[in-house]
């Protein structure tokens, strides 16, 4: 995608900066308007050509990759102690797998991109003959390997050639710097009748207009794209997919996270109780064209 001339917030050129000032990751246009303002220099900008919302500027990819490579990333403030979400995410993944099963998406070989600590891999036991995970963190991959046949370190570029019957990327695409090679790489590794399953925070959710800059999916600086169904369908269709369908993705969250929004403190016994919140995530499946 085209990259703008680096500028600081006053419009003067920058030559030594940790940030990059890119065009729209979906269509490449540099025509944008500010949508949301966060701690400088970050904004969420609306593309004036295709209408998507994206982070502008963003950290350079190498700097972000170094963050992801650390196991501490999953325990950081941006994820409100990721491990506290194990119970609720396990319920979420079990529910999603049941929906995928009803669509005929399960069986054979699974590849999960961005497998984190391995909870989706664990939930998928019994549904597949072989389960392979991928993550950028060596330590996370090591922990997740307890739940899979193997977990490798890297992204789509380092993934095995396949073919795979299901390739899943759950809450991953919003982190991807260039979504087209990511999705085309998935298509290349699918079996002829295989499925890709992509889940992202839903920009079309009721939560974003209601909460504004407090929308939890504005995770700055790691979330780069804020997609709706039209955006994701466009990405699928131009990168070698057909039969693109939306699929329900009920998402459970720990009660402690919700209490935090209200400024409440809960007893430890209640903190991880799963609470289902509708309309937070967008899930779509597609097959290789």
Q: Evaluate if residue 12 carries a pLDDT over 70.
A: no
Range of the domain at 145: 61-288
Q: Given the DSSP bridges, would you call strands 190-201 and 281-288 parallel, antiparallel or unpaired?
A: antiparallel
Residues 18-43 have pLDDT tens digits of 999 999 999 999 999 999 999 999 99
pLDDT recorded at residue 56: 97
pLDDT recorded at residue 8: 38
Residues 66-96 have pLDDT tens digits of 887 776 666 654 455 678 889 999 999 999 9
188 Cβ contact list (under 8 Å, min separation 6): 161, 162, 240
pLDDT recorded at residue 80: 53
Split at pLDDT 50, 70, 90, the class of 11 is very low
Do 176 and 265 belong together in one domain?
A: yes
Do 72 and 202 belong together in one domain?
A: yes
Do 52 and 68 belong together in one domain?
A: no
pLDDT recorded at residue 71: 62
User: Of the residues 59, 79, 103, which one is the last residue of a structural domain?
Assistant: 59
Q: How far is CA 179 from CA 5, 169, 203, in A?
A: 21, 12, 16
Higher local confidence (pLDDT), 220 or 261: 220
Closest CA to 275 of 96, 106, 85: 85
pLDDT recorded at residue 271: 79
Mean local confidence (pLDDT), 192-205? 96
Do 54 and 186 belong together in one domain?
A: no
Do 258 and 284 belong together in one domain?
A: yes
Q: The domain that contains 107 carries what CATH number?
A: 3.40.50.150
Do 39 and 75 belong together in one domain?
A: no
Do 91 and 221 belong together in one domain?
A: yes
Do 43 and 68 belong together in one domain?
A: no
Higher local confidence (pLDDT), 7 or 131: 131
Do 250 and 276 belong together in one domain?
A: yes
Do 76 and 41 belong together in one domain?
A: no
User: Of the residues 17, 37, 59, which one is the last residue of a structural domain?
Assistant: 59
Q: Evaluate if residue 13 carries a pLDDT over 70.
A: no
pLDDT recorded at residue 289: 86
Split into its structural domains, the chain has a count of 2
> Taking the complete model, does pTM exceed 0.85, yes or no?
yes
Split at pLDDT 50, 70, 90, the class of 9 is very low
Phi (first) and psi of residue 20, to 5 degrees: -130, 145
Long-range CB pairs of 257-263 (<8 Å, 24+ gap) are 257/80, 257/84, 257/85, 260/80, 261/214
Do 107 and 235 belong together in one domain?
A: yes
Do 92 and 44 belong together in one domain?
A: no
């Amino acid at each position: 995608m085209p990259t703008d001339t680096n500028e600081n917030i006053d419009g003067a050129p920058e030559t030594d900066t940790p940030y990059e000032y890119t065009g729209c990751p979906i269509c490449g246009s540099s025509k944008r308007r500010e949508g949301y303002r966060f701690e400088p220099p970050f904004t969420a900008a609306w593309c004036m050509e295709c209408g998507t919302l994206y982070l502008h500027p963003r950290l350079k990819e190498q700097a972000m990759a170094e963050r992801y490579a650390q196991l501490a990333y999953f325990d950081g403030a941006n994820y409100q102690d990721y491990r506290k979400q194990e119970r609720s995410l396990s319920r979420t993944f079990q529910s999603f797998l049941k929906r995928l099963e009803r669509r005929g998406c399960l069986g054979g070989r699974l590849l999960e991109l961005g497998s984190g600590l391995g909870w989706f891999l664990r939930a998928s036991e019994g549904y597949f003959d072989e389960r392979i995970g991928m993550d950028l963190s060596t330590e996370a991959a090591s922990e997740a390997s307890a739940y899979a046949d193997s977990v490798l370190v890297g992204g789509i570029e380092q993934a095995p050639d396949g073919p795979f019957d299901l390739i899943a990327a759950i809450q991953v695409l919003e982190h991807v710097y260039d979504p087209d090679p990511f999705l085309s790489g998935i298509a290349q590794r699918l079996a002829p009748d295989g499925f890709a399953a992509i889940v992202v925070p839903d920009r079309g959710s009721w939560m974003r207009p209601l909460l504004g800059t407090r929308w939890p999916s504005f995770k700055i600086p790691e979330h780069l794209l804020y997609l709706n169904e039209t955006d994701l369908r466009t990405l699928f269709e131009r990168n070698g997919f057909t039969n693109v369908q939306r699929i329900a993705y009920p998402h459970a969250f720990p009660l402690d996270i919700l209490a935090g929004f209200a400024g409440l403190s809960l007893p430890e016994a209640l903190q991880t109780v799963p609470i289902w919140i509708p309309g937070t995530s967008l899930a779509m499946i597609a097959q290789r064209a």
